[in-house]
Amino acid sequence: MSAIFREAAPAKINLYLHVLGVRPDGYHDLDSLVAFARVCDTVAVTVAEQPALTIDGPFGAPLAAEPPTGNLVWRALHALAEAVGRAPAVAIRLTKELPLASGIGGGSSDAAACLRALTRLWRLDPHDRRLRDVAAGLGADVPVCLAGVSAYFGGIGDQVEAAPALPSCPVVVVNPGVPLSTPAVFKARRGPFSAAARLIEIPYDVVALATLLEQRRNDLADAARGLDPAIDPVLDSLDAAPGCLLARLSGSGATCFGLFRDADDAGRAAARIHAEHPAWWVRATRLG
């Protein structure tokens, strides 16, 4: 039996996201601090006679109904195979635990996890430049997801730089169940552009991190809230939870996150929010 290589595809959280300007090609220059939560999709790969993609999990059905050629993990397989001169004779199983089109980089993280799994399957050098080149060609969030650790990203996501070590923070992530189109959110954004705001101080605990983040923002939040009114009650629910230090939209939404003083507060908040809004996707977890 062929070995199976599994990789987690964790949720990407934009702790802050500043839009710096628009480029001649219509894309936006960004500055963001990204962390990863301990909730994830899973990608498993194994040798097969022909390339194949199986999708399951609570959020898998819509993707399973679509042609595999449009899925980022399928594109990751074929792009890396071409780059390293191998046949894409691999079976992939994608288990979707994260909501779709939710601002936490699900598809990008899936593609990055697929690249990491293929690196192990094909015994490639994980520092091979071709991996980073393939990741950049798949989408703006894939390079930072490939790194899989807290990082800054700039440009359109292609400029990934190391961030200072962040404290492991209790966090509650909530999605109201309404997918949001990232291009639509960027198109709806109004107002002036922001400056880059990378951290000068290194936060030593979650309180210090929340204090620093309060001086920054998500420049897509107003546009996302205008497109999806369900975001406001999510933020209100997090804000009202005892022990919540900061509630904010992640990426282009509609997922929001709350940083909490301790794991017990986060757990109680998640349980209460789920009880009050059973249709929402709610998880208490940690960053890092």
Tell which residue, 160, 184, 150, 154, has the closest CA to residue 252: 184
The conformation of residue 28, written as its DSSP 8-state character, comes to: E
Catalytic (active site) residue 264? no
In this structure, the number of other CB atoms found within 10 A of the CB of residue 111 comes to 30
> Tokens standing for 10?
């964790």
Indicate if 31 belongs to the active site: no
| Among 128, 160, 157, 136, residue whose Cα is nearest residue 147 | 160
CB within 8 Å of 51: residues ≥ 6 apart: 74, 77, 78, 88, 89, 90, 91, 92
For residue 211, which amino acid is it? T
How big is the CA angle at 277 (ends 271 and 282), to the nearest 5 degrees? Answer: 50
Dist. CA 169–CA 146, nearest whole Å: 21
The one catalytic residue among 12, 41, 96, 110: 12
- Choice among 31, 110, 141, 265 that is catalytic: 141
- Give the residue numbers annotated as catalytic, written as ranges: 12, 141
